[in-house]
Amino acid sequence: MSNHLPQIQGVIFDLDGVLTDTAEFHYQAWQKLADEAGLPFDREANEALRGLSRRESLMQIVGDRSFSEETIQAMMDKKNGYYVDLIQNITSAELLPGALALLDELRQAGVKVGIGSGSKNARTIIDKLGIADRLDAIADGYSVKNSKPAPDVFLHAASLLELEPSQCAVVEDAGAGVAAALAAGMWAIGLGPAERVGAAHMVLPSLDGVTWTDLQAKLAQAKPC
């Protein structure tokens, strides 16, 4: 086991499923759309969609069925309408346990904080959660063309933070997001079951009770990125 000290100067958080439980709302909105369109879908199928863009998610649900671009667009709009309805009442109460404390600890430690989300609704949610003033950079679904598992959204966040990829750690709940962080050459912290995020440098069940000091100590024991 190596025992080096990673020089992490920035932490980039995925949003949905990491800072707040909007991953559940994405699932509910896709389920409603799929039921109406007569497409087979369930929670298990949804697991493969975590972190994927709106279009890529729909493509996975549609499978080898063929629809016109107009219909695809209409289905994406419909799903987003359901999702937007579900996020209307989000407040800071919907921040997941440990999230705010970690954001504050990072700020106090002088570590830069960014968001790297594939969602085009990320800014709305950030505003509703009341955390905009705790963030140094936001990269979202509008920032880059290639979505996770491509590294682009995290590389964009790092450039906004004016940091090199190797100076950044990413916190992710999705397999596609962990893959994106690793492809970016960043430290990856996975939240959730090992089957989903086990490729990360370290895996935790959630951010509950997690401190920056702990994260640094655990990453110091991990194989470098």
Q: Which residues bind Mg ion (CB under 5 A)?
A: 14, 16-17, 173-174
From CA 50, how far away is CA 142, in angstroms rounded? Answer: 18
Nearest 5°: phi and psi at 150? Answer: -65, 150
Q: Which is nearer to Mg ion, 16 or 152 (CB)?
A: 16
Query: Is residue 120 at the binding interface for ligand BG6, with CB under 6 A as the rule?
Result: yes
Q: Which of Mg ion, ligand BG6, none interacts with 26 (beta carbon under 5 to 8 A by kind)?
A: ligand BG6
Query: Is residue 143 at the binding interface for ligand BG6, with CB under 6 A as the rule?
Result: no
Query: Is residue 57 at the binding interface for ligand BG6, with CB under 6 A as the rule?
Result: yes
From CA 140, how far away is CA 157, in angstroms rounded? Answer: 9
Tell me whether residue 16 is one of the annotated catalytic residues: yes
Tell me whether residue 14 is one of the annotated catalytic residues: yes
Among 20, 31, 117, 143, binds ligand BG6 (CB under 6 A): 117
Beta bridge partners of 12: 114, 170
Per-residue contact string for residues 146-185; x = within reach of ligand BG6 by CB under 6 A:
----------------------------x-----------
Query: Is residue 54 at the binding interface for ligand BG6, with CB under 6 A as the rule?
Result: yes
Q: How far is CA 195 from CA 21, 45, 117, 157, 163, in A?
A: 19, 14, 21, 27, 30
Among 6, 98, 130, 141, binds ligand BG6 (CB under 6 A): 141
Sequence-distant (6+) residues with CB within 8 A of 162 are none
CB under 6 A: which stretch of 37-45, 98-106, 119-127, 217-225 binds ligand BG6? 119-127
From CA 208, how far away is CA 206, in angstroms rounded? Answer: 5
Q: Which is nearer to Mg ion, 98 or 164 (CB)?
A: 98
Question: Of 92, 93, 91, 138, nearest to 113 (Cα)?
Answer: 138
Q: Which is nearer to ligand BG6, 119 or 167 (CB)?
A: 119
Handedness of CA 16, 127, 84, 151 (dihedral sign): negative
| Contact between residue 31 and residue 41 where contact means Cβ atoms under 8 Å apart | yes
Binding site for ligand BG6 (CB under 6 A): 15-16, 23, 26, 49-54, 57, 80, 117-121, 141, 174
Q: Which residues are catalytic?
A: 14, 16
